Chains A and B, each alone.
Chain A
Amino acid sequence: MQIPYEVTARPDTGLYNAKVGIWLFLASEVMLFGGLFSSYVFLRLGADFPWPFHELIVWPGFVNTMVLIASSVSVVAAWASLKARRYGWYQFNMIFTIACAAVFMCLKAYEYYGKFTHYSLKFTDGSVISGHPLHDPKDAPGTTHGDHIVFGEVKSIVFDLEKSNLDFLDGRRVKKDGAPYAMPGEDDELKFKTPTGADVTLTKSWLKEKHRAFMDARADLRDEVTALELKKPSPPHPTRDDAATKAEKDDKIAAISAGIERANAAFLEEGKQKDLTATLKLDVVGDPLVFLVKENTTMRYGAAELSYRENTVLQGKLITDAIQFNVDLIDLRQAKDHDKSLVWKHLPELKQKFTSYRDAQLKEFSEKRPKVKEPEKDEDAQRDAYRVVFDDNKEKFLSHDEAHEYLHDTKRTISVPRAEKRFYSNFSPSLSPYYAIYFLMTGLHGLHVVGGAIVLSWFLFTGRKMYLSNPEHLANRVEVGGLFWHFVDLVWIFLFPLYYLM
């Protein structure tokens, strides 16, 4: 079917149809992003935490701004080239535009990666540190465990035959070549003894078989109990039933109830004999096991027992639940008493340095802004004085080498017990509403970049035939694609200052 007015203008609108369509679409996009910008303003004005100001690294955002502006120039130049029937220039400009989109997304991925591997830890007293949990250092692999709970000396594991799975085995570690928490080999078998004394090699298929057998047995029991329940007479009526009927009914109900109890008891007894109980305890054969456990996979844990969310229970000993952390920033803006901050328990050598730094910063602020009577309460002064970035360009707090040591050397790793932790997260949407809206808006914008690049690539790689038969049609298509691309640029022009500069 021929779509009308693809090339020539429609008499009533004076525009070809695709152009009307794209402007209607852009109008809806304005409203979509308008809602998100409104959410940003709302979150910022109502934030009950210090809003991250000048915290994002500017250069990736700046480069991306230049990249998008350059692509805006090239996409409109591509359209103009088609209008002038310069196909070679059109191709060049389109390739440049798509390359810009690729550069933009690569930089965005670089930024996102940095945020997902950077962590923030808030203490119970409101003090905040950021950095990253310790991972296996190159010189001593397997000696550390970052932010995992270490649960060792595991001699028994209790499975819930309905819900348990073996995902927790991914966290199992063994001593190997001097490393206490090395990954076990693939051929490493886990041998257990069941309550009946049977020897078992723990595998997924074994657990699956047990799960099926247990569920089947339980379904059989349910059928049997249902059948018996259906045979029960109605309860004796206090006035309508005579004494004999009442006695007969009572006897029958008692007999059936006893039958149900017997069926349940038989199910439990048979289960015990076949190792098909709702919770099945397996005893480790050989050396006790060690597990590294992510906190978010646990239901609860104590000194001798750890329960996973899927109901599997490890019985052993809690080795440590401390978070091993390398620090690159201290932020005491939300701490009530700087001198008693929990940070100094772990970094006592920096307390005096911080105090001097803070006082100097407050003094500098007072000199710079004498109108501010109480700089301690001023938001900007607090940001300058109570928040120290270790690797600051001006080396105001620590030298570059010292900052590097704090962030990367295991000598400087601190160990924070989870009892001292109020919140712990990487710089992902879970960290604060700021990062939630940051990822939402930049992510949605990034999707627009990808979508636009796909459409422009389509025009580039499939456009030659249309150019030769109807170049104006292709020019119109590129114009429409270009209009969308400019809109993507427009959104970024606001996003960049809002998130990186303000």
Chain B
Amino acid sequence: MSDTPTHSPAVTGDHAAAGHGHGDDHANLAKHVRIYLIIGGILIFMTGVTIAVAYLPWFDFGDKHINIAFGLLIASFKVSLVCLIFMHLRHERGLIYKVMLFAMIFFAAMMFLFCLAYMDPIQDSFLKT
């Protein structure tokens, strides 16, 4: 059986990886894969940096919370790259941004939900006991 589809390439959506001709398709494919590989390389490099920040004495700032903040910052940068490049959030439709904005608001709210533990009007907060 041949691997040639009956339909010609139908590029739909707003983030097509390929162009309109087979030659263009292949060139675009190579270009896109190269970008993906570069981003993958950056992600792996940044993972190495995260480990270095956590373990190497050069990054001993005298307070591990600074290292934690650095680690989270790098993780956020990596997540941004994955979202923008791999998940194509650079150029998506408005509906998706709205849905994700809604989710991110909930995410942020949940990240601060534990603060309710400080809101005990009778006793001191659990951190002080």
Interface residues as binary, A46-77 with B (CB distance below 8 Å gives 1, 0 otherwise): 10000001100010001001100110110011
Please report which residues of chain B, range 1-20, place their CB below 8 angstroms from some CB of chain A when the two chains form the complex. Answer: 1-7, 9-14, 16-18
Q: Is the CB of A80 within 8 A of B54?
A: no
Q: Is the CB of B5 within 8 A of A83?
A: no
Q: Is the CB of B12 within 8 A of A9?
A: yes
Q: Which of A36-44, A120-128, A454-462 contacts B (4 or more CB under 8 A)?
A: A36-44
Query: How far is B65's CA from A53's CA once the two chains are assembled, in angstroms?
Result: 12
Query: How far is B40's CA from A493's CA once the two chains are assembled, in angstroms?
Result: 13
Query: How far is B117's CA from A76's CA once the two chains are assembled, in angstroms?
Result: 42
Please report which residues of chain A, range 458-501, place their CB below 8 angstroms from some CB of chain B when the two chains form the complex. Answer: 464, 467-472, 482-483, 486-487, 489-490, 493-494, 496-497, 501
**Main DSSP-derived SS at the A contact region:** helix
From A28, A84, A470, contact of B7 by CB (8 A): A470
Please report which residues of chain B, range 90-105, place their CB below 8 angstroms from some CB of chain A when the two chains form the complex. Answer: 93-96, 99-100, 102-104
Q: Is the CB of A497 within 8 A of B96?
A: no
Q: Is the CB of A31 within 8 A of B110?
A: yes
**Main DSSP-derived SS at the B contact region:** helix
Q: Is the CB of A83 within 8 A of B82?
A: no
With contacts A7-B12, A42-B117 taken as known, whether A77 is within 8 angstroms of B36 at the C-beta atoms is yes
From B62, B68, B71, B82, contact of A486 by CB (8 A): B82
Interface residues as binary, B30-50 with A (CB distance below 8 Å gives 1, 0 otherwise): 001100110110011001001
Q: Is B119 an interface residue (CB 8 A)?
A: no
Query: How far is B62's CA from A490's CA once the two chains are assembled, in angstroms?
Result: 30
Q: Is A176 an interface residue (CB 8 A)?
A: no
From B6, B64, B67, B127, contact of A45 by CB (8 A): B127
Instruction: Chain B residues near A494: list those with CB within 8 A.
Output: 72, 75, 79
The tally of residues in A whose CB lies under 8 Å from a CB in B reads: 70
With contacts A45-B114, A62-B51 taken as known, whether A84 is within 8 angstroms of B82 at the C-beta atoms is no
Query: How far is B113's CA from A19's CA once the two chains are assembled, in angstroms?
Result: 31
Query: How far is B47's CA from A371's CA once the two chains are assembled, in angstroms?
Result: 31
Interface residues as binary, A7-43 with B (CB distance below 8 Å gives 1, 0 otherwise): 1110001111001100110111011001101110110
The tally of residues in B whose CB lies under 8 Å from a CB in A reads: 69
Q: Is the CB of A27 within 8 A of B50?
A: no
Q: Is B126 an interface residue (CB 8 A)?
A: yes
CB B23 to nearest CB in A, in angstroms, measures: 10
Instruction: Chain A residues near B104: list those with CB within 8 A.
Output: 30
Instruction: Chain B residues near A16: list those with CB within 8 A.
Output: 12-13
Q: Is the CB of A69 within 8 A of B3?
A: no
With contacts A85-B9, A368-B60 taken as known, whether A38 is within 8 angstroms of B111 at the C-beta atoms is yes
Q: Is the CB of B93 within 8 A of A14?
A: yes
* B→A interface (CB under 8 Å): 1-7, 9-14, 16-18, 22, 25-26, 28-29, 32-33, 36-37, 39-40, 43-44, 47, 50-51, 53-55, 60, 62, 64, 67-68, 71-72, 74-75, 78-79, 82-83, 86-87, 93-96, 99-100, 102-104, 106-107, 110-114, 117, 126-127
Nearest 7 pairs between A and B by C-beta? Answer: A42-B114, A27-B103, A501-B54, A80-B17, A34-B107, A84-B25, A84-B29
| A-B pairs with beta carbons under 8 Å apart, 5 shown | A28-B103, A30-B106, A31-B106, A66-B44, A89-B29
